[in-house]
Amino acid sequence: MKYVVACLLDLMLSGCVASQPQPDRLVLISLSSPTPTSVSVPAQRPQTITGKVVAIADGDTLTVLDDQKRQHEIQLDGIDAPESNQNFGEKAKQSLSGLVRGKTVTVTGSKVDSSGRIVGKVTLDGKDINLEQIRRGYAWFYRQRADELSRIDARMYELAEADARDNGRGLWAEPGPIPPWELRAAQRSEPNGGGQIIGNRNRKLYYLPNCPDYSKVSERDRVLFATEGEAVTVGYRKARNCP
């Protein structure tokens, strides 16, 4: 008992060195029990997968087949590519396919999304494929999860997007590209009041039934949509004065 207390005091003051240190384990000593209790605390290390890319779902999702013939669906971390039904969605998929399909890549990540996909960085011969998709203009930097990236990666992704936008590469060749997270949000929502959505083809804006200017769109410029998602898909944005 006296030795245990002395050891704890030494640990707080100068460090108490065990004869056989156990890395990545936390040892708890109970002063009321003659036998110390050991509780294992695993270190938080990123998962690493190496394998061949056998499928490309879209501009930021792929499937890797490892040496044990297990398939892993991978969501590229820190980026968001156009949805398949958006402008440049197919080109983003083709870009990713050209970069990695049939090649052996390394995936590093410690997260799994709600669909069970591993969220990680994909590298090929040291090249960051996530970054390359942004650099080519086929993905946005997904700022909503910037704090989950390393500071270096977040900064590199931000700069790559700015460079692609300034040089009009990929999806930035067209003015005002719709971010895919806005499309997904619109598809999840339902029109207020159950009425049709009116679009102004001249201004590329759409109005819900409760928007102030809903009835002000001229017949010549009017186009009707069943859902917000349908409007967003073809490049329309919600009017700013809508609730």
State whether residue 188 is helix, strand or coil.
helix
Alpha helices in the chain (DSSP H): 2-13, 89-100, 129-135, 151-166, 180-188, 228-233
DSSP E strands in the chain: the ranges are: 25-28, 37-40, 47-58, 61-66, 71-76, 79-80, 104-112, 118-124, 127-128, 140-141, 197-200, 205-207, 222-225, 237-238
pTM of the model: 0.64
All structural domains of the chain, each given as residue ranges with its CATH number in brackets, are 2-40 (no CATH), 47-173 (2.40.50.90), 180-238 (3.40.10)
Residue 210 makes CB contacts below 8 A (sequence gap 6+) with 192, 193, 242, 243
Measure Cα distances from 57 to 33, 43, 156 in Å. Answer: 56, 32, 25
The whole-number pLDDT of residue 187 equals 62
Q: So what's the pLDDT on residue 3? A: 46
Taking the chain (243 residues) in consecutive chunks of 10 residues, what is each chunk's mean pLDDT? 45 42 37 33 66 97 96 96 88 98 96 90 97 98 93 97 97 88 70 66 87 79 82 88 84
User: What is the three-class DSSP state of 242?
Assistant: coil
Find, among 63, 79, 81, 60, the residue nearest to 71 by Cα.
63
Q: Are 209 and 192 in contact (CB under 8 A)?
A: yes
